[in-house]
Amino acid sequence: MAESILAQLDVVLAARKDASPDSSYVASLHHKGLNKILEKVGEEAIETVLAAKDAEISGDNSKLIYETADLWFHSLVMLSQLGENHQPVLDELARRFGLSGLDEKAARK
Ligand X SMILES: N=c1c2ncn([C@@H]3O[C@H](COP(=O)(O)OP(=O)(O)OP(=O)(O)O)[C@@H](O)[C@H]3O)c2ncn1[C@@H]1O[C@H](COP(=O)(O)O)[C@@H](O)[C@H]1O
State the residues that interact with ligand X by CB under 6 A: 9, 12, 16, 24-27, 40, 70, 73
10: closest CA among 74, 88, 77, 82? 77
The letter for the amino acid at 106 is: A
State the minimum distance, in angstroms, from the CB of residue 47 to ligand X. 8
State the minimum distance, in angstroms, from the CB of residue 16 to ligand X. 5
What are the angstrom distances between the C-alpha of 74 and each of 17, 103, 106? 14, 30, 30
24 or 61: CB nearest ligand X: 24
54 or 73: CB nearest ligand X: 73
Residues with Cβ within 8 Å of residue 73, at least 6 apart in sequence: 9, 44
State the minimum distance, in angstroms, from the CB of residue 9 to ligand X. 6
CB 37 within 8 A of CB 77: yes
47 or 55: CB nearest ligand X: 47
CB 44 within 8 A of CB 70: yes
7 or 101: CB nearest ligand X: 7
State the minimum distance, in angstroms, from the CB of residue 26 to ligand X. 3
